[in-house]
Chains A and B, each alone.
Chain A
Amino acid sequence: MAAEIVEEDLGTVATGVAGSTLTVNNVGKSYNIAKTPKSPPEPTPVLQPVSITAPPGELVTIVGPSGCGKSTLFGIVAGLEEPTQGTVEIDGQDVTGTTGHVGYMLQKDMLLPWRSILDNVIIGLEVRGVKRSDAVAAARPLLQEYGLGDYEQARPAQLSGGMRQRAALLRTLLFNRPIMLLDEPFGALDAQTRLQMQLWLLEVQESFQKSIVFVTHDIDEAVLLSDRIYVMRGRPGYVAREIHVDLPKPRDTQITTTPEFTAYKDEVRSLLMDKGE
């Protein structure tokens, strides 16, 4: 219901509301690192070539231990870093090394403390040059819909951690790109808030049909949210397996007790625990 109204409002702001296909082709990265202070720097891979696909409207999760190059991969997809090899494509168009194509969100909310919540969530539109009145008109119903309506004039410091993350996600959403990258967005939240946020993300995903790439090291979170999971391993990291999660949607907490859910969890866990190359 409300989502329809929201989509109408967004239509006046920008194109590309729904998802696009994100293709990561054989992207690898190495840094020049000196092994000892005296030796000359030599290329050290931090990410072995990986290929990932996020079709429209799918939530794709990358699961892996710290240091497997997840965040490097994200930096490359967001265009913040150049890969040593490989390309990033959106709907077949090469966007490697350029920014502004994807919404990007981290564990830290990165809300600007001197801006109100409203001004924070429209910052992406501001950067894109959307008129403030149009941006506000798009943001208001979203803030309203997702429980931040009464706080649009509040400063981030006055909000709880969960609310700040919600504002950060709305900022990413309002940047209005077909692809959203979420790098452990709920990692710093307490278990209860985290679950609420996960369910909320599923809801948001349902109404906006964005392509979402989600990084986490929480196996439960990965299985609950994903349409497909890429399990990463090793240092430098590589994709050990791609798992399609065929659990019915929409999902809620009840699904977590089903045998299918547990089976997926076991599969991911055994891949992560398995030390063999």
Chain B
Amino acid sequence: MTVTAVTTQKPETAAQEVGAHRTPTQVLQELEAKAPKESAKSRKVLSEDRKASPVLVNLLRIAVVVVVFGGWELGTRTGHINAFFWSSPSRIFAKAQEQFAAGTFWGDIAYTMTSSVVGFILGTLIGTALGLSFWWSKTYAQTAEPFVIMFEALPKIALAPLIVLVLGVGIDSKIALAAALVLAIQALNAYSGVRTVDRDIIRMMNSLGASRMKIFRSVVIPSTLPWIISGLRVTIGLALAGAIVGEFIGSSQGLGYRIMYAGSVYDIALVWLGVFVLAILSVLLYIVVAFLEKRLGTQLSGKK
């Protein structure tokens, strides 16, 4: 026991003796001597906000399109890709000319656009109203919360057959599906907004003697709107998906119906055409919504 104690103490006292002689400067100098040499090397930092060259980016984008479509076309011509299942860009292009010349395709586009946009607007309005209504009563809000969350979590697509059955194969069922998808998300967004309203501002408004209605209109609605607006970009895509699924289930018009029909008769070029048109439409809708978002966003935050 005593022996071991002595031996373990020895290195400590030695270290203390050495330590006692070293000044802080020496400590740092010794540390520097031990540090690996590379770490001292200075290197150029890649600037985080260095801009990508727009010309290069655009060229690369074109290159991606050329490689994908060129490869696809080449693959089908050389027989590496089965043209029956995958079709080919040239066939799709020919199909597009044929379809747009016949005119029915425009009707399909208009049908799908109408149901998604109307569903989008309805879903946003109803969802926002629902979320905002939770501000008025905590009892009501807390009672409703689990049901709203359940409805949000539920894959609404599963309701599609039911909705089509109840509302028929007309445009109503497509609008309802699109709206249902948008509504749940925006209701929760609005509720989040309502819960984060600045309590001090409400206090200030109360001190002025403002009524509940006045506070709701002047404070709660404007401070909830950014939450709704930031949800728009996500929900516009969902509205389109809802409309398409509605058309899949039962319809006699629309891009979803056209794609479904083309698939069942193995007209793969038409399927692709439908998909490409949908892609273009969704990008267009996205751009419009992003523009609206920017406009409304600066209005509300006051930042230019």
Give A residues with C-beta under 8 Å from B: 75, 78-80, 99-100, 102-104, 106, 108, 110, 112-115, 123-124, 126-128, 155-158, 175
Contacts and interface: CB of A to CB of B under 8 A. Distances in A.
16 contacts: A80-B203, A99-B208, A100-B207, A100-B209, A103-B207, A106-B200, A110-B198, A112-B222, A113-B300, A114-B223, A114-B301, A127-B208, A127-B210, A128-B209, A158-B303, A175-B208
A123 B304 CA distance: 23
A104 B204 CA distance: 7
Contacts of B219: 112
Nearest to A78: B207
Contact of A99 (B201, B206, B214, B218): B206
Contact of A155 (B208, B223, B302): B302
Given A80-B206, A112-B201, A113-B301, 9 more contacts: A100-B207, A104-B208, A110-B198, A110-B201, A113-B302, A114-B300, A114-B302, A127-B214, A128-B209
A179 to B, nearest CB: 11
Interface in B254-304: 299-304
Interface in B179-207: 198, 200-201, 203-207
Contacts of A79: 207
Interface string B125-136: 000000000000
Nearest to A168: B204
A78 B210 CA distance: 13
A129 to B, nearest CB: 10
| Residue in A106, A127, A128 whose Cβ sees the most chain B Cβ within 10 Å | A127
Contacts of A126: 218
A31 B49 CA distance: 53
A99 B302 contact: no
A106 B303 CA distance: 23
B205 A127 contact: yes
Contacts of B200: 106, 108, 110
Nearest to B219: A112
Nearest to B298: A155
Nearest to B198: A110
A103 B204 CA distance: 9
B299 A114 contact: yes
A175 B208 CA distance: 8
A155 B303 contact: yes
